[in-house]
Amino acid sequence: CCLKQIVYNKSEGTVTFIDYEYGDFNYQAFDIGGHFAEHAGVDAIDYSRYPDRTFQEKWLRVYLRSWYSEMGKNPDSITDQHVADLYEKVNKFAVQAIAAFIPSHPCDPAPSKL
C-alpha cells in the first residue's frame, strides 16, 4: 500500500518515506483529530476502531504534559478542563479529517460514500 509515499533513489541506494499531510504546520487539534481518525484505518476503514473518550483523554493528557514541557510551562498545571477543551476541539476536527483526507487518501481503493 501507499507506494507513492516511498521514494527509492537507486543511484544513491536510499529509501525515503514521506507523508505530506503532516509536512507543515497546522492546527494542533486538526493534526490530533487526524491521528485519531486514522485509528479507524485507511485501506479498510472501520469506525469501531476510533478511540473512545477515555483513551483520547489519557492520550491528550500525556500529549499536553509533553507539550507544556517543550513550551517551558509547568505540566503539573494541566487541569481536567484543559484536557476537556482539547478533546472537544480535536473531535470537531476529527470529523473534518474523516470527511476530508481519509476518503481521498492515495491508498483508499474506492470513493467515499460520505
Q: What is the pTM of this model?
A: 0.69
pLDDT, one tens digit per residue, over 44-99 is 788 899 999 999 999 999 999 999 999 999 999 999 999 999 999 999 988 887 76
DSSP line for 40-106: G-SSS--GGGSPPHHHHHHHHHHHHHHHHHHTT--GGG--HHHHHHHHHHHHHHHHHHHHHTSTT-T
Confidence of residue 1 (pLDDT cuts 50, 70, 90): very low
pLDDT, one tens digit per residue, over 4-44 is 677 888 999 998 877 666 666 778 998 899 889 888 887 77
Report the pLDDT value the prediction gives residue 95, as an integer from 0 to 100: 84
